[in-house]
Structure formats: structure tokens, C-alpha cells
Amino acid sequence: MTFKEKLDKFCEYESYDFFSDDDIELIGSLSYDMNSFIRALSAETLARIQSVNSKNILLRLANDKNCFVRTEAYDSLSVFCEKEVAEFLSKKIVVESDDLARSYAITSFAQVCKATGVLSSEIEFLASVSEKMKSERCLLCMFYALYVFGKEEYLGKIYSFLHSNNYRIICTAVSLLGDIINYSNSKDIINEVKKVDNNSIAVQSRVRSFIDEYG
């Protein structure tokens, strides 16, 4: 297949509600492609195919040499709600060298643990790792995960990222707050988001969308 044919196939897959054995076999084959973008598209698509085979392919892609491929693999693993996957992601959180990829490993770890029942050891693990974390993005995701795990005191720590000097961090913080907003915390969260003071067009757009939806 040419590069264009591969891209066209993944575009076609976006409309699929069901994947045949042949489709799954092709995606598995493309997950070995020389082009990292094709491997990343394979990882993204596999999130929609919850099978042992697709999970195993994603576990392999999470060890890919390309950080973008690893990021997509971590993200897709969030739909496989098994303690085996949570344990795998916890190890990746420690050793992953790319901040963006690690942040996705953290949020997927949180989602898998939440779905399978959060263990005290998992809370202790995140709290311990967060103390050594220097990346602003990863710290934000750590605090988000800990809040998802029921540690409500971390909500205030998440708010602090709304005033970061990095507009991307602010946008991520607003998005994560949208994930955790509920009846009991909505008033407080909305008030904090309204305090965001940043001239970035991206931030202003994200905040406006958040207020339109929740405020």
C-alpha cells in the first residue's frame, strides 16, 4: 500500500461501527509500518477495537521508539479497564522520557484505575511520584488523577495551573476541569475558570467554550 492508500484506509475506518477480522489484521500489520504517523494512527484506531489482540498491539506500541506513537498508545489503553493495564501504565509513568507522552500515561492510568476500583497503593504511588515530578504538564495530570481518586484537596492545586505562563498548560487545565466538573463542585470550578487572565487566543477560546457549556 502507498502512504496515501494507508491514510485513506484510516479515514475510512473513522466511519466504521464494526471491524472485521481482515480490518483488524490490516491494522495490526500497519502498526509495524516504517512511518511513525501510520503507527500512531494504528494506535488511535485500536481504541475502538476492544479485544485481547488490539490490547497487546497497544502494549507493544507503548514501547515504540517514537514518542508520538507512545502517546497515542497510552491514550488508547485507557479503554482497557484491567489491572494488568494499570500496572503497565504505572511503570511507564516512571520511565517515560517525553512529558506529553507521560501526561497521557498518567491520565489513562487514572481512568483505568477508576474503572477497576482504585487501590490505596495506586493513590500512594501517584502521590509519591508527584513529589519528584518537575514537568508542569505532568504535575497537572498527577493532581487531576489524584482528585479523580477521591483526594479532593488536589482541586486547589489544579486551579493553580489556570495561571501558568504556558498557554498550553492553561488550556489543558480547563479541559481537565471539564472532565471532573459535577453538581457539587461546579460553582467553585466555574468561578475559578472565570478568573483566568491570559491574552492567548487559544486560552480565551477554551475559557469561552467552557463558560458557554457550564456557566
Degrees to nearest 5, angle at CA 144 with 182 and 172: 90
**How far, rounded to the nearest angstrom, does the alpha carbon of residue 138 sit from its chain's CA centroid?**
11
Q: Do residue 58 and residue 92 come from a single domain?
A: no
Q: Do residue 174 and residue 119 come from a single domain?
A: no
3-state helix, strand, coil in the chain (%, to 5): 75, 0, 25
Please name the residues in contact with 210: beta carbons below 8 A apart, sequence gap of 6 or more: 174, 177, 178, 193
Given a contact cutoff of 8 angstroms between Cβ atoms, the answer to whether 103 and 138 are in contact is yes
Q: Do residue 106 and residue 134 come from a single domain?
A: yes
- What pLDDT is stored for residue 215 in this prediction? 80
Q: Do residue 17 and residue 70 come from a single domain?
A: yes
Q: Do residue 3 and residue 72 come from a single domain?
A: yes
Q: Which domain holds residue 31?
A: 1-76
Q: Do residue 141 and residue 163 come from a single domain?
A: no
Q: Do residue 111 and residue 146 come from a single domain?
A: yes
Q: Do residue 114 and residue 52 come from a single domain?
A: no
Given a contact cutoff of 8 angstroms between Cβ atoms, the answer to whether 198 and 204 are in contact is yes
pLDDT in tens, the chain (215 residues): 899 999 999 999 999 999 999 999 999 999 999 999 999 999 999 999 989 999 999 999 999 999 999 999 999 999 999 999 999 999 999 999 999 999 999 999 999 999 999 999 999 999 999 988 889 999 999 999 999 999 999 999 999 999 999 999 999 999 999 999 999 999 999 999 999 999 899 999 999 999 999 98
Burial class of residue 11, CB neighbours in 10 A (0-12, 13-18, 19+): exposed
Task: Give how far Cα 190 sits from Cα of 139, 149, 167, 168, Å.
Answer: 22, 21, 18, 19
Q: Do residue 67 and residue 110 come from a single domain?
A: no
> Could you tell me where the DSSP H helices lie in 32-98?
36-46, 52-61, 67-77, 83-95
Domain boundary among 150, 182, 204: 150
pTM, full prediction:
0.92
Q: Do residue 46 and residue 104 come from a single domain?
A: no
Q: Do residue 16 and residue 70 come from a single domain?
A: yes
Domain boundary among 21, 51, 76: 76
- What pLDDT is stored for residue 132 in this prediction? 86
- What pLDDT is stored for residue 77 in this prediction? 98
Given a contact cutoff of 8 angstroms between Cβ atoms, the answer to whether 170 and 198 are in contact is yes
Q: Do residue 56 and residue 7 come from a single domain?
A: yes
Say how far apart CA 201 and CA 110 lie, in whole Å. Answer: 30
Q: What CATH number is associated with residue 34?
A: 1.25.10
Domain boundary among 45, 76, 107: 76
Tally of domains within the chain:
3
